[in-house]
């Protein structure tokens, strides 16, 4: 009988130790909860980061952010998913400088995948985690007024700079924040598909990083978080750089340390920070609960970009 009592007491002590550890974690998170209370956090959930569908971890993080007083606004991508659907429908994909040339047929698929499948998967995932979200595209309430994106390319034969027609690829001309404020006041989490509307009602496919940066700047967000499938900015030895000033980031682009697909993400972060966002951060969205690691711990989890 004594042995049974001792065993039960040991279990109780172990349970108590676990709960004390949980309480300690909550107390350690308190300063960050207070810091972000009532602040807008724009989270870009990249198409590569959501490989395998909307993760339960991501949805739980977003709901916890909302419940602790933050105001998360999600902008999602969907490049891989769009590419897969175009392939299934035998619609060829062409890229120029990393941008998908989007004709009318491709635009219909882009809008279907982004505003239909992916957007609603994220909304459903948040609901399953106990939150309340609303799915939008930039067309809803004229949230994102867009214009056709203009690009120039050097002709290899003549060396002349000529315009490139990307079709229905656009860029934000104006963000209407009152649409988002309406949902935030209603305790809803906005989930935005990166499709904008032109002045004549036409649809535009817009890079999700670009929309996230524009939304963050217009909303004067405390943080712009870019979730992707890499851990952040790496130095020339392949080690993570935890923090960069705008000047340092530009220098790393100039010397080639930052290259490829990371360049537009850093440029988006720089533009957002210079536009009034307190800081931008690039995180590996494949890490479980990476948003909580970044926002609720002192060390963060990716590369933070600030003015200085």
pLDDT single digits (tens) 221-270: 999 999 988 888 998 888 999 999 999 999 999 988 998 778 889 999 99
User: Is pLDDT of 166 > 70?
Assistant: yes
Annotated domain spans of the chain:
37-306
Q: Which two tokens stand for residue 216?
A: 């963050």
Q: In terms of pTM, does the model score above 0.85?
A: yes
CATH topology of domain 37-306: Carbamate kinase (3.40.1160)
pLDDT in tens, 55-93: 788 999 999 999 999 999 999 998 889 999 999 999 988
Q: Are 287 and 301 in contact (CB under 8 A)?
A: yes
Q: Give residues with Cβ within 8 angstroms of 194, minimum separation 6.
A: 75, 76, 77, 78, 114, 137, 138, 205, 206, 207, 208, 210, 211
> What does the alpha-carbon distance between residue 180 and residue 192 come to, in Å, rounded to a whole number?
10
């Amino acid at each position: 009988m004594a042995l049974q009592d001792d065993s039960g007491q040991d279990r109780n002590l172990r349970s108590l130790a676990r709960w004390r550890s949980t309480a300690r974690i909550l107390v350690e998170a308190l300063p960050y909860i207070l810091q972000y209370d009532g602040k807008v956090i724009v989270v870009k959930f990249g198409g590569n980061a959501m490989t395998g569908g909307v993760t339960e971890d991501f949805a739980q993080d977003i709901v916890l952010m909302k419940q602790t007083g933050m105001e998360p606004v999600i902008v999602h991508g969907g490049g891989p998913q769009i590419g897969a659907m175009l392939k299934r429908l035998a619609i060829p994909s062409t890229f120029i400088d990393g941008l998908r040339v989007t004709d009318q047929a491709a635009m219909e698929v882009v809008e279907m995948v982004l505003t239909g499948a992916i957007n609603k998967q994220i909304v459903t995932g948040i609901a399953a985690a106990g939150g309340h979200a609303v799915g939008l595209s930039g067309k809803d309430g004229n949230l994102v007024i867009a214009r056709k994106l203009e690009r120039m390319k050097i002709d290899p034969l003549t060396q002349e700079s000529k315009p490139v027609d990307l079709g229905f690829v656009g860029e934000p001309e104006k963000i209407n924040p009152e649409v988002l404020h309406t949902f935030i006041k209603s305790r809803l989490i906005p989930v935005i598909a990166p499709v904008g509307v032109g002045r004549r009602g036409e649809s535009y496919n817009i890079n999700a990083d670009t929309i996230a940066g524009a939304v963050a700047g217009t909303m004067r967000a405390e943080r712009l978080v870019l979730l992707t499938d890499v851990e952040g900015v790496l130095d020339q030895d392949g080690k993570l750089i935890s923090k960069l000033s705008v000047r340092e980031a530009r220098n790393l682009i100039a010397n080639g340390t930052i290259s490829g697909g990371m360049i537009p993400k850093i440029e988006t972060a720089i533009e957002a920070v210079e536009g009034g966002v307190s800081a931008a951060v690039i995180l590996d969205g494949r890490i479980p609960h990476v948003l909580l690691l970044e926002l609720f711990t002192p060390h963060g989890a990716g590369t933070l970009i600030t003015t200085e």
